[in-house]
Structure 1
């Protein structure tokens, strides 16, 4: 039995705008870190004299550890109703870890501090989504228009960092990361104090580990994790080998950059109109559309399409990533009690996406080594699994909570 979500309270327009602006600014700050870390951290590691195998270990270790750390931190934030304070703590860890990296050499010290920085970055994301979703529920703003600022600053950081590296070398990467974490730390202090409202909306009761475990094994939530996780994980070959494969086909770096940018632009456009899209097609329809688009996109990519065809295929990124993400965020907002919001976000980020992405990346490596561009066909199969799960979820979910909370007073 699914309890319907509570009606949205009316909020004065100036308060709604203020909440949205502060969350938008924080998303923009946070994605400065992602825009430097994801594309350029391997370059810094190589500059420190690490081998390809050591770089792979440092890159893969956070994927493994975040499956334990992220849900635990999110559970703590849910239980104590201190999402904002936890985010500030994580930003401090990120600043300290990146500054330590700037003074560190050798595999083991770099592993420790690089993993700390990566987990601080990735654990901040689900906690931020909790605050963002609370604002969407209570003020009625369009989540996508808040989240798109993260995508935009990702591009700015990516391009800006490339210019800095070209002028100063890869050693500047950790200093840019430290600066990005510092900016995020400052922005975190301006996040809305949503925790008190969230605590009042679900009652001042203690959250137990058993409740979090119940959510993790609830059949409808498991179907959601499979659907959302596999559709996102199906990007593994694209994220890891697209640039390498396009380069081997003789495509110039300028065109490759344009292709990547086109995908982000498509994502931003969808975010800008996400409220209307969700109202039109619904959460279930959006997730199904994302999964079906992923099957089409990766199947087409597996046959090494001509250059002109890559441009419309890149536009599908707005569906395969953007629509899947929007559907996931709205599903968790509507299907999970707010007391478990951080736990749900962390399970999606660490298990649904982190673990699935780690496995898909390993599979992609094996497939790409043997079949080159044909590896995308394996990703189409993964997306097809997501489509089946999305269809099953759509059939079973009636729009209410997937789990009921019967909470005892602490």
Structure 2
């Protein structure tokens, strides 16, 4: 792989998170601008996560068997541009739910493919994954501020045009990714579901559960934080600043994740720390604290998201064979960003309509279950991951 590979991966992550930084916090705000109810917003967001759940494993199977790992990423990028363009007419809730399903499938579906591709390339070629991924987080912050300012100046509809522009950039960056040539991938077994089942049945399944539950506990935050904080009197610029604070500390964590103490922490420890921080973060956010406290609580994003993210990736790279790399990441994505997140988003709509910002407290449940799974993983494999299943 070319020495320019880290730059190409960084460019892709930058383009992707430039789009995601508008989509994640402001897509519900855009839906609210289309005069939809809180329950409808929750169900539409959940439809997108359902699309992620069902399609990600199919894309991963393609990636594990494809001659070039770049091919499915580029295909998903092109489809994401087309699907977001289809959001422009004034559709009702049923059509928006259908479009959300497809946009979730092709946008979110890129995450496990690029993570598996980039993490394996970093391991084989000797470049640091954390700083490459941190470029994406930095552009996420830029997008937060720009999209928030655009909504303030031109209304919520403007964020859709930002996402269309962003998916065009993703498509361009995907076309310039390294090819990721694989030697005779079909004869290597592709995605052997029996052996993958053996992985899930073992300690890897505990890592999956911990990651899925802790990441899924962000459901209320992703679906309703912008709406909830607007109701508390905070404008879109402040909301963008809150999100950006979380991502800024995430960047620091990613940048340092391979160094010092962070580089020595076991995957189980990282997952456990993320789960414990999640319980604290959502419990206190549900109390509708003042703005200064909200900013302080956003610092826990370094643990609830980044520590959990790196913990799972580290475990997967060390314990999953290369020929199952994308499939393993897609299963995690389908669970954490699909099944658990979809349920959390749908439940969040119900509770937000009744108790407002207090609905954050519901996210303590998956976070606590994730802590149990992380502790179980630590007991099975406290310092080193399970041996690879070949």
Tell me the TM-score normalised to structure 2 length: 0.88
Which of the pair has more CA radius of gyration?
A: 1
Q: Match for 1:395 among 349, 365, 379?
A: 379
Q: Which moved more, 1:278-287 or 1:123-132?
A: 278-287
Residue in 2 that maps onto 1:345? 329
Q: 1:144 to 1:61 in 2, by over 3 A?
A: same
- Tell me: CA distance 1:356–1:402, structure 2 relative to 1, closer, same or farther (3 Å): farther
Equivalent residues in 2 for 1:125-140, closer than 5 Å: 125-140=111-126
**What residue number does 1:239 align with?**
222
- The one of 205, 209, 213 equivalent to 2:188 is 205
Give the Cα–Cα distance (whole angstroms) in 2 for the partners of residues 371 and 113 of structure 1.
29
Equivalence for 2:206: 223
Structure-2 separation of matches of 1:321 and 1:371:
25
User: What is aligned with 1:359?
Assistant: 343
CA contact (8 A) 2:49 2:337 kept: no
User: How many residues were matched structurally?
Assistant: 388
Change over 3 Å in CA distance of 1:215–1:344 after alignment to 2: farther
Moved more, 45-54 or 77-86: 45-54
Residue number among 268, 275, 286 corresponding to 2:251 in the alignment: 268
Note closer, same or farther for the CA distance 1:40–1:256 as it changes in structure 2 (3 Å cut): closer
CA distance in 1, matches of 2:327, 2:359: 33
8 Å Cα contact 2:65/2:190 also seen in 1 = yes
The answer to which of 219-228 and 300-309 deviates more is 300-309
The counterpart of 2:85, out of the listed 99, 105, 114, is 99
- Tell me if 1:76 matches 2:76: no
Q: How has the CA–CA distance of structure 1 residues 265 and 25 changed in structure 2, closer, same or farther, with 3 Å as cutoff?
A: same
Question: Do 1:215 and 1:403's aligned partners in 2 also have CA atoms closer than 8 Å?
Answer: no
Deviation of the 1:241 alpha carbon = 3.7
Could you tell me how far apart the structure 1 residues matched to 2:346 and 2:99 are?
A: 24
- Checking the alignment, whether the CA contact within 8 Å between 1:62 and 1:119 is kept in structure 2 is yes
CA shift, 1:206, in A, is: 2.5
| Mapping of residues 152-163 of structure 1, within 5 Å | 152-163=138-149
- Alpha-carbon contact 1:288-1:387 (below 8 Å) kept: yes
Matched, 1:315 2:299: yes
Is the Cα–Cα contact under 8 Å of residues 212 and 340 in structure 1 kept in the other structure? Answer: no
Q: State the distance in 1 between where 2:341 and 2:239 align.
A: 23
Aligned mates of 1:19, 1:317 — CA distance in 2: 28
Q: Is 1:300 paired with 2:284?
A: yes
Quote the Cα distance in structure 2 between the aligned partners of 1:241 and 1:55.
Answer: 9
How much has 1:140 moved relative to structure 2?
2.4
Give 1:117 shift: 2.6
Q: After alignment, is 351-360 or 56-65 more displaced?
A: 56-65
Of 323, 330, 334 in structure 1, the residue corresponding to residue 314 of structure 2 is 330
Summarize the Cα distance change of 1:270–1:57 in structure 2 as closer, same or farther, 3 Å threshold.
same
Aligned counterparts of 1:345 and 1:297: Cα–Cα separation in 2: 26
The answer to which of 253-262 and 270-279 deviates more is 253-262
Q: Contact (CA 8 Å) 2:148, 2:239: kept in 1 or not?
A: no
Structure 2 match to 1:89 = 75
User: What secondary structure does 1:195 align onto?
Assistant: coil
Can you give the 5+ residue segments of structure 1 that lack an aligned partner in the other structure?
1-10, 406-410
Alpha-carbon distance in 2 for matches of 1:243, 1:203? 45
Change (3 A) 1:108 1:382: closer
Residue from 202, 214, 223 that aligns with 2:197: 214
Partner deviation per Cα, 1:295-339 (whole Å, 9 max, x = no partner): 222333344444443333221111111111111111111111111
- Structure 2 Cα separation of the partners of residues 318 and 179 of structure 1: 28
Per-residue deviation, 1:208: 4.5
Aligned 8 A contact 1:101 1:113 in 2: yes
Q: Does residue 1:27 correspond to 2:13, yes or no?
A: yes
CA distance in 1 between counterparts of 2:18 and 2:193 reads: 36
* Cα deviation, residue 353, structure 1: 3.2
Gaps of 5+ in 2: none
Rounded Cα–Cα distance in structure 2 between residues aligned with 1:165 and 1:304: 24
Is 56-65 or 182-191 further displaced after alignment? 56-65
Q: Which residue of 1 aligns with 2:389?
A: 404
Report the TM-score, using the length of structure 1 for normalisation. Answer: 0.84
